[in-house]
């Protein structure tokens, strides 16, 4: 069962499959960064931003001076210790559980990690990176990839830094289900054929929400993106940086845009790669993402048909899609063995496995092999891809990715649907967006309908008036963050600069395009943004 609006870095999705680890949970598979800058906003180029819902508005920017009640948080000193891989250090930072009532004894600890710049070259400050999600572990991403895989000149001049956002991994994590209960949840039929199956799916979402409420009632009201952005500003200050230097991937672009909207005068060099559109309400976001996965699948289908080992035939993309739909229909009626007796490969897990591989074209050969094996009655390959998507280890333990993902999404915006009847009304538009994935992703969008905490956010335009140039990166055939979202965000931001990658996969930086990497590296190292509208 796919969790609605999970925006993940390529590396996390396919890491369990042994492919290049380049991300951690929601966004891109490559370097990302930002550095202090105070340049003027660049002129806006063509493009129309998507309007916000009536009445939706951004939270008012913070005052230039730090509020007195928050001063102790901004003045704290981090105590670093060696941790994880060689060269990395870790610490914890205090943040108020509730920013409306700081200093009331309800603080939480935010886990932070860094790798100090070693030169050569002038140190440019801290480079904060976020892999997305929501729910992705920044520390895991930093230590597994960013701290060792970013371009050497960037790592030489920046302290590479990340943190686990509130509710995630090491930072007061949200918890919801036991491993066996999560196994059952991921197998529930996500394309119900009748009222009884609809009720079973709704019950699964209710039980998921109830588990979160039972285990994480303290945190659920306080894991919004706005609160995480405020944590980032505290972190900026305690790291000793006047401006925030940041690269966010996928959902990390929403976090970065939220920060810029709250603290425009503190924006340094921001790269938002695989951008979200904060002005689009949940229903539109989910439908757009459905269309994005269809676009990515058709690109895969076109390539697959040219390969001698394509298990879905060698016809047109429509014919390849028809074969995949038929495969899903068969495993819905009769799951195939997967090597785990408790988890045969049914439609839900099979769909998740396919979606996982669409994040990166480097996984296409693996997807062909896994589909061929499943067609022969052996589903272990697709199950492994699904497990990597859900961050389930071989012992049946899940990371808290999916729990944090739902908690943040359901707090950031009102639900896409109020109940099954709303999904049924929207099904035609989802199936038009994707004949292959539309029905499943429409029903997955029901997940926030039963959430125990009312949403505190709403769709709104992110303008960040007065901020330095912000580079927004969009990939034309990105499955998880459709290209039009990058166009919209770049046009909303007063200082947005759009950089386009005409390619496949989720996000662009560090994924093999010298044109993209050169443009971003130059921006990070000397503060010169690419020309607005540049295409690679």
Q: Clarify whether 250 is annotated catalytic.
A: yes
Beta bridge partners of 501: 475
To the nearest 10 degrees (0 to 180), the angle between helices 282-304 and 364-375 is: 80
Beta bridge partners of 474: 500
256 Cβ contact list (under 8 Å, min separation 6): 130, 246, 248, 270, 272, 470
Q: Is 180 exposed, middle or buried (0-12, 13-18, 19+ CB in 10 A)?
A: exposed
In the set 137, 506, 513, 517, the catalytic residue is: 506
What number of other Cβ atoms are within 10 A of residue 337's Cβ?
14
Q: Clarify whether 478 is annotated catalytic.
A: yes
Q: Are 113 and 143 in contact (CB under 8 A)?
A: yes
What is the DSSP code string of 318-382? HHHHHHHHHHHHHHHHS-BB-S-TTS-B-HHHHHHHHHHHTT-GGGHHHHHHHHHHHHTTB-HHH
In the set 113, 250, 348, 434, the catalytic residue is: 250
Q: Are 263 and 270 in contact (CB under 8 A)?
A: no
In the set 478, 494, 504, 517, the catalytic residue is: 478
Q: In whole angstroms, what is the distance from residue 225 CA to residue 228 CA? A: 5
Q: Are 62 and 233 in contact (CB under 8 A)?
A: yes
Catalytic annotation, residues: 250, 478, 506
């Amino acid at each position: 069962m796919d969790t609605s609006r999970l925006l993940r870095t390529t590396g996390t999705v396919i890491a369990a499959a042994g492919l290049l680890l380049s991300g951690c949970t929601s966004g891109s598979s490559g370097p990302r960064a930002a550095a202090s800058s105070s340049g003027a906003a660049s002129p806006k180029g063509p493009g129309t931003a998507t309007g916000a819902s009536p009445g939706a508005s951004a939270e008012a920017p913070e005052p230039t001076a730090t509020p007195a009640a928050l001063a102790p948080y901004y003045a704290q000193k981090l105590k670093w210790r060696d941790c994880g891989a060689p060269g990395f250090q870790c610490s914890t930072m205090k943040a108020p559980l509730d920013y409306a009532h700081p200093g009331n004894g309800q603080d939480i600890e935010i886990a932070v990690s860094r790798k100090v710049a070693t030169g050569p070259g002038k140190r440019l400050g801290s480079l904060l990176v976020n892999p997305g999600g929501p729910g992705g572990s920044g520390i895991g991403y930093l230590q597994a990839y960013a701290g060792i895989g970013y371009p050497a000149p960037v790592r030489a001049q920046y302290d590479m830094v990340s943190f686990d956002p509130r509710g995630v991994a090491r930072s007061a994590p949200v918890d919801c289900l036991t491993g066996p209960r999560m196994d059952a949840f991921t197998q529930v039929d996500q394309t119900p054929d009748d009222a009884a199956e609809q009720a079973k799916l709704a019950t699964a979402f209710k039980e998921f929400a109830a588990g979160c409420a039972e285990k994480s009632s303290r945190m659920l009201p306080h894991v919004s993106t706005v609160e995480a952005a405020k944590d980032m500003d505290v972190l900026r200050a305690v790291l000793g940086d006047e401006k925030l230097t940041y690269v966010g991937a996928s959902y990390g672009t929403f976090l970065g845009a939220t920060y810029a909207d709250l603290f425009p005068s503190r924006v340094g060099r921001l790269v938002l790669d695989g951008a979200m559109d904060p002005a689009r309400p949940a229903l539109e976001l989910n439908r757009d993402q459905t269309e994005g996965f269809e676009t990515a699948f058709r690109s895969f289908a076109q390539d697959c048909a040219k390969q001698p080992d394509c298990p879905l035939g060698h016809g047109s993309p429509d014919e390849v899609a028809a074969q995949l739909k038929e495969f899903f229909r068969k495993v819905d009626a009769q799951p195939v063995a997967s090597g785990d007796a408790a988890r045969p490969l049914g439609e839900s897990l099979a769909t998740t496995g396919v979606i996982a591989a669409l994040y990166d074209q480097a996984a296409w050969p693996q997807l062909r092999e896994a589909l061929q094996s499943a067609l022969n009655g052996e589903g272990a390959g697709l199950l492994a891809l699904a497990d990597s998507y859900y961050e389930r280890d071989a012992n049946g333990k899940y990371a808290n990715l999916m729990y944090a993902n739902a908690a943040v999404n359901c707090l950031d915006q009102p639900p896409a649907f109020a109940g099954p009847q709303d999904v049924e009304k929207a099904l035609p538009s989802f199936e038009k967006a994707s004949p292959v994935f539309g029905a499943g992703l429409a029903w997955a969008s029901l997940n926030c309908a039963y959430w125990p905490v009312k949403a505190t956010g709403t769709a709104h335009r992110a303008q960040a008036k007065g901020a330095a140039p912000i580079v927004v990166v969009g990939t034309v055939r990105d499955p998880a963050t459709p290209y039009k979202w990058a166009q919209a965000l770049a046009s909303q931001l007063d200082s947005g600069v759009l950089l386009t990658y005409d390619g496949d996969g989720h996000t662009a930086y560090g994924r093999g395009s010298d044109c993209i990497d050169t443009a971003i590296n130059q921006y990070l190292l000397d503060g010169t943004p690419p020309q607005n509208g540049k295409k690679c």
